[in-house]
Amino acid sequence: MHVGMAAAKAQSLFRGLMLVDADAEADRAALERIALWALTIYSPIVAVDGIDGIVMDTEGADHLQGGELPMVTKIANQFLARKLSARVAVADSWGTAHACARAINRATIVVPPGETVRFVERLPISLLRLPAKIVSDLRNLGFQTIGELANTPRAPLTLRFGPEVGRRLDQMFCRASEPIQPIRTPELIEVSKAFAEPIGAAETINKYVGRLVVQLVDELRKRGLGVRRADLIVEKVDGTRQAIRAGTAKPARDIAWLTKLFRDRTEKIEPGFGIERLTLVAVMVEPLEEAQKVSALVEDDITDVTPLIDIYGNRGQRVYRVGPVASDVPERAVQRISPVAEPIAVAWVSHWRRPVRLLPRPELIEAIALMPDRPPVSIVWRGRRRKVKLADGPERIFGEWWQRDAEMDAVRDYFVIEDEAGERLWVFRSGDGVDPETGSHRWFCHGIFA
């Protein structure tokens, strides 16, 4: 099956084929919503790419997601969670990423720097984003792959087809820039400053960044909003763009603090031959009302750690706190929440001791213990044998049958043990020690006490 095939022929080839009328306008609106979603999370520079994709400039932003591979994996997983099929590619150029995402049958593709040729030379010329007439004429001349076209002398191609073929090849192989025009909506609040003469000095950049922050805060105040995430877009005289993103844990309109967040990062700006425009965009905003500070004579002044959270967050370090979940199963009883989230009504049960460090997953250990309910007298964990001097337990935890059918009869018996070196561990036996239906009767280490 291919694009342009007659519907009757497709139905004759595939029994039970479902036909759905295309809705180009709905598709375009959906792509714009996806682009705006990506704008608020992944990159300051996002645009719709054709009729079936979006493009992002992730330079300087991928480290916030842990690197290129974790970033594309996270994006692909988020689409999959919404039952959407997507291929996510990252490369040196827009053209390479566009081609790889559409031709390579993998959910995620990372093209290492400098390896564009190896990835695209065998791809069809239709992925060069050339007009259909030019692609058809090139095929009539015998060109099938991008590699064949790239290895052909440029002059005859330009004489026959004009500059478009060479321009697309140069863009793909990073010999010519291809700026991305970021998506914008009327709801986005932005302020900008164009310069009659290009600027490049760090002091000058910082001065105008401060002025833009003042203008942005004025617009936010008029609408009763505070900024959670803002982007500084730097447009250079050579047509390229650079972006700097700053975020806050809470909605903010503090001019001095927002200016500091951006000025701490303006050293990353590479002005090149000069900057001709600076644009400051509030990509994520929330309602914010002014609150009067209460006198310290009335109640204790609470230290605000939000600035510290902002500093760590803008350095690419993930900041969170642990909150309780209503579950007896230890690995389900905790969740990561925002460091400034409202208090949670659920509380941890306090009548049983819990380790300060819960292992990401229970680790299998070798244990010598009397069945069915005695603690181990000796264990081997991580290649080291430990003799148990003290033990407390068992604490029986039952499976949550409403979560999984396999937990209908499952139980765990937990013990707090202390070895001869004074280290205290949280171990459990899977099962009740009698009935094999309740567990494997193997032992695991699940936590470490202080």
Contact 232, 247 (CB under 8 A): no
Tell me which of 366 and 319 has the higher pLDDT: 366
Q: What is the pLDDT of residue 175?
A: 92
* pLDDT (average), residues 45-67: 86
Nearest to 281 by CA among 240, 237, 228: 228
Span 92-120, average pLDDT: 94
Domain with CATH 3.30.1490.100 in the chain: 189-287
Cβ 213 vs Cβ 258: under 8 Å: yes
pLDDT at 206 over 80: yes
pLDDT (mean) for 298-303: 59
Task: State the pLDDT at residue 86.
Answer: 93
Strand partners, 357: 448
Q: Which fold has domain 189-287?
A: Dna Ligase; domain 1 (3.30.1490)
Token pair belonging to 357 = 């460090």
pLDDT at 299 over 90: no
Does residue 352 contact residue 412 with C-beta atoms inside 8 Å?
no
Cα 24 from Cα 145, distance rounded (Å)? 30
Q: Cα–Cα distances in Å, from 134 out to 143, 150, 167?
A: 11, 15, 13
Percentage of residues in the chain with pLDDT exceeding 70?
96
- Which candidate, 265, 270, 276, 267, places its Cα nearest to that of 231? 265
**Per-residue model confidence (pLDDT) at position 301:** 59
The mean-pLDDT minimum among 49-53, 306-310, 396-400 falls in 306-310
Is 190 within 8 Å of 282 (Cβ atoms)? yes
Per-chain mean pLDDT for the chain: 89
As a whole number, mean pLDDT of residues 204-232 equals: 94
C-alpha span between 127 and 102 (Å, rounded): 8
Q: Looking at residue 26, what is its pLDDT?
A: 92
Burial class (CB in 10 A: 0-12, 13-18, 19+), 82: exposed
Q: Please state the separation of Cα 428 from the chain's center in Å.
A: 35
- Out of 189-203, 333-347, 429-443, pick the least confident: 333-347
| Percent over 90 (pLDDT), the chain | 60
Is residue 361 classed as helix, strand or coil in its secondary structure? strand
Is residue 295 very low, low, confident or very high in pLDDT (cuts 50, 70, 90)?
low
Report the pLDDT averaged over residues 311-330: 81
Residue 241 has pLDDT above 70, yes or no: yes
pTM reported for the whole predicted model = 0.67
